């Protein structure tokens, strides 16, 4: 287990920037958890899926140039919004590689709010949750 995943397990929370006291949750408000000034692209192997409302999650193992593996949690929009675009849970097979573009968590933990995903077969989908940049809400 990498230091990131053990940190995630230990804290169990997405902390917000500059927080004092107990960090709290604010799903649906992109700016509470993610930084629109920090876009990145990740390529990784799918290790786990959580297909819940209002956010779907995929967990991907990303290997850096030193060969170290970090497990990232990648947040998508609601399953039905993805389904309306033609994207199903079964499109994400464990062990396959995907590319995601998105925005980093403010906390610095390996959590990403994805704006799009590219599947192994080359299909590309917009995945942003409701009020993320580019979601068009």
* Alpha-carbon gap, residue 117 to 102, rounded angstroms: 9
84 is a site residue for other proteins (CB under 8 A): yes
14 is a site residue for other proteins (CB under 8 A): yes
Q: Is 110 helix (H, G, I), strand (E, B) or coil?
A: coil
Evaluate the omega torsion of the peptide bond into residue 30 and state whether it is cis, within 30 degrees of 0: no
* Alpha-carbon gap, residue 22 to 25, rounded angstroms: 10
Cβ 53 to other proteins shortest distance, Å = 5
95 is a site residue for other proteins (CB under 8 A): no
Contacting positions for other proteins (CB under 8 A):
8-9, 11-14, 16-32, 35-37, 50-55, 57, 73, 77-81, 83-85, 88-91, 111, 130, 136-137
């Amino acid at each position: 287990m990498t230091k990131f995943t053990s940190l995630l397990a230990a804290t169990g929370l997405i902390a917000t920037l500059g927080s004092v006291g107990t960090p709290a949750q604010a799903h649906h408000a992109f700016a509470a958890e993610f930084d629109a000034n920090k876009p990145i692209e990740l390529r990784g192997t799918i290790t786990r899926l959580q297909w819940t409302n209002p956010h779907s999650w995929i967990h991907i193992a990303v290997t850096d140039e030193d060969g170290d593996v970090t497990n990232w949690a990648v947040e998508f929009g609601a399953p039905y919004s993805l389904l309306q675009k033609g994207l199903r849970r079964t499109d994400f097979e464990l062990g396959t590689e995907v590319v995601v573009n998105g925005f980093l968590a403010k906390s610095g933990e390996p959590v990403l709010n994805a704006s799009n995903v590219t599947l192994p077969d080359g299909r590309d989908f917009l995945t942003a949750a409701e009020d993320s940049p580019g979601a068009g809400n």
